[in-house]
């Protein structure tokens, strides 16, 4: 379907407005698909993001500020998010060796196991990209980087 059909709008002020609305609509569409998948798994998309970040740092710890810097959704209350992951046994807090006032977060084996369980299900979400080629996906990523002003 086209964005015009999906939101029942025949025209846009200009191509930039159309792209903006299409990007917001598509983001929400993807997020809603993911939320359903995450809910079935007993986890939120923000928790999944934090677990993936910590798996990437494993076996090292990360401080909450460093985690927040690389999160996709920077708006959630990270302290409460980490508390929920601790309750589920997926992460633990550790006192920093060089500064006892500082707390680091590390993924537990249970968190690594949960991600290993979730990894195959990511393919379900990725099937949303079946209508574009690998080259088009790369081009889309490049365009989105340029939109955000990335100079890479």
- In this prediction, residue 36 has a pLDDT band, given cuts at 50, 70 and 90, of confident
- Residues 29, 67, single domain; the answer is no
Looking at the structure of the chain, the number of domains it has is 2
pLDDT digits over 2-21, tens only?
Answer: 999 999 999 999 999 999 99
Do 55 and 113 share a domain, yes or no? yes
Is residue 136 domain-resident? no
pLDDT score for 119:
86
Residues 37 and 47 in one domain: no
pLDDT above 70: percentage of residues in the chain? 96
> What pLDDT was estimated at residue 30?
86
User: Do 27 and 63 belong together in one domain?
Assistant: no
* Domain span including residue 29: 12-41
What CATH number should be reported for the domain holding residue 47?
1.10.10.10
On whether both 66 and 114 belong to a single domain, the answer is yes
Is the same domain home to 21 and 51? no
**72 and 24 housed in the same domain:** no
- Cβ contacts of residue 51 below 8 Å, gap of 6+? 43, 85, 90, 91, 107, 111, 114, 115
Cα–Cα distance between 138 and 142 in angstroms, integer? 6
In a domain, 3, yes or no: no
Assign 125 a pLDDT band (cuts: 50, 70, 90).
Answer: confident
Same domain, 22 and 91: no
pLDDT digits (tens, 9 = 90+) for 88-97: 999 999 886 6
DSSP H or E stretch at residue 10: none
């Amino acid at each position: 379907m086209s964005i015009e059909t999906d939101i029942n709008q025949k025209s846009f002020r200009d191509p930039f407005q159309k792209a903006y609305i299409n990007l917001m609509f598509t983001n929400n569409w993807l997020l809603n698909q993911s939320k359903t998948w995450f809910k079935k798994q007993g986890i939120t998309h923000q928790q999944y993001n934090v677990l993936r970040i910590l798996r990437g740092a494993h076996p090292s710890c990360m401080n909450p500020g460093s985690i927040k810097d690389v999160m996709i959704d920077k708006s959630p209350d990270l302290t409460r998010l980490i508390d929920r992951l601790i309750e589920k046994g997926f992460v633990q807090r550790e006192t920093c060796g060089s500064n006892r006032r500082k707390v680091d977060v590390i993924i537990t084996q249970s968190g690594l196991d949960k991600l290993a369980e979730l990894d195959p299900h990511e393919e379900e979400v990725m099937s949303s990209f079946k209508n574009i080629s690998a080259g088009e996906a790369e081009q889309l990523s490049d365009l989105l980087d340029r939109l955000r002003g990335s100079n890479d």
